[in-house]
Structure 1
Amino acid sequence: MDILIVDGYNIIGAWPNLRPLRDKDFNSARDNLINQMAEYKAYTGYRVIIVFDAHLVKGIEKKLKNHKVEIIFTRENETADERIEKLVKELNNIQTQIHVATSDYMEQWTIFGQGALRKSARELYNEMTAIKQRIEKKVKVTQQKKPKSKIHLSEEVAEIFEKWRRGQR
């Protein structure tokens, strides 16, 4: 099983499409990241966990599930880095490959030492961009293959029907 743990606010601050959104509407940037990670999960099959610092969400630790993506808001005095390190220790086993997405250099080395693979914000962004392009291409191909009629007709018969529809003989 592959697991992707995402340092939420670190990624929001690093991605060119989320940084300006964060400056205007913090919640929208967070929701946008969650939606993109749901697409990532659907495409790759990875278990995705996004960890946010308790920034703007004071109090006890909070866990949510949105679009089958796990979202963790840390406790008030716990950083996302600390929570990510705990998750890596808890989830790491011989059958699991953990990837951690963060551009925090020290965090990358810490989790790498615990057996997880690191993925920079740029690498995740490029991977997400490629995934979106593949999805768009697949949708386009599917739409082109989609029959114009629910009943399979030969090209010749379809042309005759089209002429009738237009009032031509």
Structure 2
Amino acid sequence: MRRRDDVLLVDGYNMIGAWPELASLRDKGLEDARDRLLEMLADYQGFTGLMVVVVFDAHQVPGAGSTFKQHRLTVVFTKEKETADACIERLAAELAMRSRNIHVATSDMAEQHVTFGKGALRLSARELLIELKQNRKAIEQKVEHKSQVRNELDGNLSMEVRLKLEKWRRGGK
């Protein structure tokens, strides 16, 4: 079971390559695929309360890398000569605490083994996509249920008060 102080570290490009919707977006433009991934993970973070950190590999791009917030997610572009895998391993070690679990979402088997060895829990791209879809269904069911509730006040009133109100409604005193 996940707790609110748990952390999910996501290998961004690994998800983009593994999820059909994102892979087709990537073929049209990588930025669109990244944006869609961040939207999906923002919904997931909002529903679960987990802290989500998405890491994108920029090791072949010159520069110092960057970290910023988008949709309340933490988005990391690795610095020059640092792979996403190395960054995820470093973050898993930095964020580890006894009271929280670190989950690493990647389908890179070697990365799963290394982070598992550091105490993180593994989650494949497929498993994360299934969780996202299940959460989306749960949200839709909650919204649908809320819209079907006709009068929330009525269910919270005692029978005595309900009878008095009904009497008043009909013009009685």
Task: State the TM-score, normalized to the length of structure 2.
Answer: 0.82
Show the counterpart of 2:85: 81
Q: Counterparts of 1:17 and 1:5 in 2: how far apart (Å)?
A: 21
Show the counterpart of 1:26: 30
Aligned to 2:34, the other structure's residue is in SS state helix
Match of 2:121 among 117, 120, 127: 117
Q: Say what the alpha-carbon RMSD is for the aligned residues.
A: 1.9
Show the counterpart of 1:44: 48
Q: Counterparts of 1:19 and 1:80 in 2: how far apart (Å)?
A: 18
Match of 1:108 among 94, 109, 112: 112
Q: 1:67: Cα distance to partner? A: 1.3
Structure 1: gaps spanning 5 or more residues: 148-153, 158-169
Q: Counterparts of 1:93 and 1:37 in 2: how far apart (Å)?
A: 23
Show the counterpart of 1:129: 133
Aligned to 2:20, the other structure's residue is in SS state coil
Aligned to 1:6, the other structure's residue is in SS state strand
Q: Map Cα deviations across residues 12-52 of structure 1 (whole Å, 9 max, x no partner).
A: 10011111111112101100110111111111110000000
8 Å Cα contact 1:4-1:46 kept in structure 2: yes
Q: 1:88: Cα distance to partner? A: 0.7
Q: Map Cα deviations across residues 31-87 of structure 1 (whole Å, 9 max, x no partner).
A: 011011111111111000000011786421101101110000001211000000000
8 Å Cα contact 1:12-1:19 kept in structure 2: yes
Q: Counterparts of 1:40 and 1:58 in 2: how far apart (Å)?
A: 32
Aligned to 1:22, the other structure's residue is in SS state helix
Which consecutive aligned stretches of 4+ in structure 1 deviate over 6 angstroms post-superposition? Answer: none
1:25–1:80 Cα change, 3 Å: same
Q: 1:144: Cα distance to partner? A: 2.0
- What percent of counterpart residues are identical? 49
Q: 1:139: Cα distance to partner? A: 1.2
